[in-house]
A and B are shown apart, each in its own frame.
Chain A
Amino acid sequence: MNNLAEMPLDSLLTTHPCVADFFGSLGLATANVPHPLATWLEQLPDEAFFDAGMEREQILTHIKRLIDEIQAMGEADNGQVGSLILIGGRDKSGVAENIQLNLRAGEIVCIVGPTGSGKSRLLGDIECLAQGDTPSGRRVLIDGRPPDDERRYTLDRKLVAQLSQNMNFVVDLSVREFIDMHARCRMVADPEAMTGQVIACANDLTGEKFTAEVSVTQLSGGQTRALMIADAALLSASPIVLIDEIENAGVDRKRALELLVTGEKIVLISTHDPLLALRGDRRIVIRNGGIAEIIVTSDLERRNLERIERLDATIMDIRDRLRRGLRIEEDILWTA
């Protein structure tokens, strides 16, 4: 790296496309420059640096850091997380939670409680891998240990991905371009194949199929949700996924959960949807900002879940037929 300044700019740009992007963002023309980087920088007029917003030295340092960073990203090991342990803190009145919750990869736990009871606070604690330094005083251990600072604070390799309820797409890209952009920044080996896989998987989850060419901003709520769940399961860097409610909007929630679990993710869902809440092995009950109870799903509840699933299937079928422009006139059999 010491001889970076001596490298001919042309070959530097070929070996490190990120440097070409960087010069592009500075508005510096770099086409066909066979001179070494340092010579080229030396020849540029001072005005060019002023317009670019960086000095020569700063540009050299930046390029060096940029190349290091890209290399670090490529080598970064996201690793799997085998377990997450949540050590209780206190509720809003300061009462100790006296609880330790152990979660394993491939496990789904739901969080239930009235609005304002503190479900988001719990998700927030896990999201930031709290170490007794949030108002709740909770602590999170990853694979039995407190996460080191680097794991805690990396930004784009976060351990925790959060699918929030009210998300929007800001970029105006087709679904294919959008997922491809994500795959490339995740540096997966074959971004095109991965993109195809995510889109196929998302279509599997939603009743309303969409093509890869449709713009993400035109997707319905259900399609958006399906796409984000498929992406979180297959492409997201994070081994822990937090979901703030999966609405009923045309997403096959059962398959969505199966998909997330097969990815060996640890999944926490804040929800009151019976299909989700009863599917998990356990559910966390939140009251007054604290974990009031952890309910293990009983056999009776599992039996009821099967009934609810049949009811849900009936409604999904009606929904599908409505979408196709059919009449709903038969005597509906509530087989539950």
Chain B
Amino acid sequence: MRLITVAGSPSVGKTSVILRASEILRQEGLKVGIAKFDSLSTSDDKLYAQKSFPVAVGLAGALCPDHYFVSNVEDCMAWGQRQELDILISESAGLCNRCSPHIGGVMAVCVVDALAGVHTPKKIGPMLRLADLVVITKGDIVSQVEREVFAYQTRLANPGARALFCNGITGQGAADLARAIHQAPETDVLEGARLRFPMPAAVCPYCVGETAIGETHQRGNVKKMRFNDRSEAA
């Protein structure tokens, strides 16, 4: 089975892009399934089910979605194997631009939205910088100038990575993505594999339910802002 991790900020068009590419892969005789990760709720599983793709849903609830993802990805693999999938695509939302579900040796895709503006690629962290393939969506609704500059900025943000434009509505570009997925390395077991970069840290009282505000409640992994009108003690 091939595992593909697809990540991108909310509403960039991950589901549309995955659906388009999956339909092409299915036409080629491959069995594709999707593990959809989200925070509070999702209805994307219905979209996948509508097109008769096997789908598993994981809702992180109060947990950091990325931490939740990595604790569950092996179980998703097992599910995919039980479904006898050729390709399992995990879809997860990068909520803080800092997330990175990408795993060494597993094809990593980052979806970015051309509407987000030309400065966005450099603002996105490991999710984009450490991806193997960057998919740019909504390119049809910005000018070709911004499209070219966006592509250039993406290239600088992740030099050497493949990048392509994909239109989730018309499917333009989805064949390229499908081809890249087809060529991804196989993943049989994940045990022992490593994330490409540590996930965002989360060990402070607020992670476990603290709601009170004030210095006395801020213990553990706490970081304070610096203000330029105060001389720094650093």
Contact = CB atoms under 8 A, between A and B. Distances in A.
Interface string B78-119: 000000000000000000001010000000000000111111
A162 B197 contact: no
A65 B159 contact: yes
Contacts of B140: 162, 164, 166-167
Interface in B159-179: 159-160, 162-165, 170, 172-173, 175-176, 179
Interface of B: 98, 100, 114-119, 122-123, 125-126, 129-130, 136, 140-146, 148-149, 151-157, 159-160, 162-165, 170, 172-173, 175-176, 179, 197-198, 201
A69 B145 CA distance: 20
Contacts of B162: 153
Nearest to B115: A170
A155 B164 contact: yes
A83 interface: no
A170 B112 CA distance: 14
Given A53-B98, A55-B197, 19 more contacts: A53-B100, A53-B129, A65-B160, A66-B156, A69-B160, A128-B172, A133-B179, A153-B162, A153-B176, A155-B151, A156-B152, A158-B151, A166-B140, A166-B141, A169-B146, A170-B142, A171-B117, A186-B148, A236-B148
A156 B155 contact: yes
B172 A170 contact: no
A247 interface: no
Nearest to B153: A185
A99 B9 CA distance: 44
Task: Pick from A127, A155, A168, A237 the residue with the most CB of B within 10 Å.
Answer: A155
A58 to B, nearest CB: 7
Contacts of A155: 136, 151, 154-155, 163-165
Contact of A167 (B142, B148, B163): B142
A246 interface: no
A19 to B, nearest CB: 10
B176 A170 contact: no
B118 A171 contact: yes
Interface string A210-227: 000000000000001000
Contacts, number: 123
In the complex, the 4 A-B pairs of residues with the closest C-beta atoms, listed nearest first:
A53-B125, A69-B159, A156-B151, A25-B122
10 contacts: A18-B156, A53-B197, A54-B126, A156-B148, A161-B144, A169-B142, A170-B118, A182-B148, A228-B144, A237-B148
A134 B175 contact: yes
A103 interface: no
A334 interface: no
Contacts of A171: 117-119, 146
B156 A167 contact: no
A163 B143 CA distance: 7
Nearest to A162: B144
A50 B142 contact: no
Contacts of B170: 120, 124
B145 A231 contact: yes
Contacts of A235: 145
A237 B118 CA distance: 18
A278 interface: no
Contacts of B143: 167-169, 224, 228
A62 interface: yes
Nearest to B173: A128
Contact of B130 (A58, A73, A127): A58
A179 B159 contact: no
A40 interface: no
Nearest to A231: B145
A232 interface: yes
Contact of A179 (B145, B154, B164, B173): B145
Contacts of A124: 170, 172
A128 B152 CA distance: 18
A68 interface: yes
Contacts of B157: 25
Nearest to B100: A53
